[in-house]
Chains A and B, each alone.
Chain A
Amino acid sequence: MSPGAFWLAVVGGMLVTFATRASFFILPQTERLPRLFLRGLRFVPPAVLGALVATMVADPLAESGFRTAWPRLAAVLVAAIFGWRTRNMWGTIGLGMVSLWVLQSVASP
């Protein structure tokens, strides 16, 4: 990405982010919006985050193969189970990182 394209993306990203945050603060009549649009908004975070986690875990597996990248898959599963039971964000991240380090040292001592 060229510096020009990067800064264009930063300014554009600022505008669209500010637009979503300011949307209902400056919109006079919210009741005229389509109901389907409003109902769909709540599914955007799980859809996008699910897609991101999947591609970020699948990418190294596709690139370097299961034999090298399996600790990432295993660590993300450990973190998912812990996170699901505790809902502790930093515990989830911390346990996932520690699991990856331990499993990587086991995989390639």
Chain B
Amino acid sequence: MWRLTLGVLVAMRLGLELVGLASVNLTPLGPPNGDWNALVGASGEPLALSIWQRWDALWYQRIAEDWYRADDGTVHFEPLYPLLVRATSVIVRPTVLAQLVVTSTAFVVAAWLFVELSRLDVGSEAACLALLLVVAFPAGFFLFAPYTESLYLALSLGAFRLARADRPWLAGACGFVAGCTRTVGAFLVAPLAYSYLERRDKPGAALLAALGPGLGLALSTAYLRLSTGEHRSMVAVAEPWGDRLSPPWQALAASWEFIWGLGGDPPELVNFVGLLGAIVLAVLVTRRLPLAYALYVWPYLALVASRQSAAAPLESVARYLVVLFPLFVALSGLLVRKPVLAMATLAVSLMLQVVLFERWVHFGFVG
């Protein structure tokens, strides 16, 4: 299995690097767009590295280099990924390379756990296909970008796998660090608790361990606010990003109008179709996979579908879906006995990924 995970890593790293460099050579970069753009290439990073310095990657670079400060919005970003990058950058320079090392290492662990966990439910063949589906997903390149996707995926998969092995404290510890990586880590509490309630007559202390992800999120947030002196609430800190809550049907309707008004916007179209597809797959997850997965997927989807962004209503949704691994396991269960359809799905998905990645490299916002 290690050969598969390492093979996928090398293929995707090389493939994305080639696509990124070719697209920059064919269509020269315009002016940078976003925050912390002064960091792009500032340490003399070669083009092969600087094509990864985009959007949130720059926030994480900024945090890894100068750590958190009050009033500059950095506390909006959870601390584990920049902490690991900061530690790695002691021996690996420049910072963006340390970011890619952390991301790539996390991806290998995530991919191994992905296959290891999902084959328990759908068998080895479908588990491998599920891994290919998530990697080829249009927003799958975020698993290789200097973002938190790979690290969070590895930790959430680790928590599920350890809970499945009835190791509640280790699962809770894994969930704790997942909560220090992404806010949505707190969605691991209910599935972990449910799996112990289902398996044990007297779950007792295991339920306390299931609170790990929530504690990780709460403590890391408290640490960020107290250590920086950030007096605003986290909702107030997030206000410059322009998100607001609305019922999912309103977000979907607004997204459709946005796409229609622009005559088709590729990232928003992927977000819209991706969200609808995710809802259909969540029904499959509920019917065919262990119920703990449904307890993870539905609240996560409810939040993602209830968040409307100012720039594009469903902005970043496709990226948020990348880590929702049970959806891809359910999809692979559908496709594993239909090789032609599976190949077609992978091919179309990869083509869309190239389109989105090329856009992202050119400072277009994808997620």
Pairing of A with B: no
Residues on A close to B: CB < 8 A? Answer: none
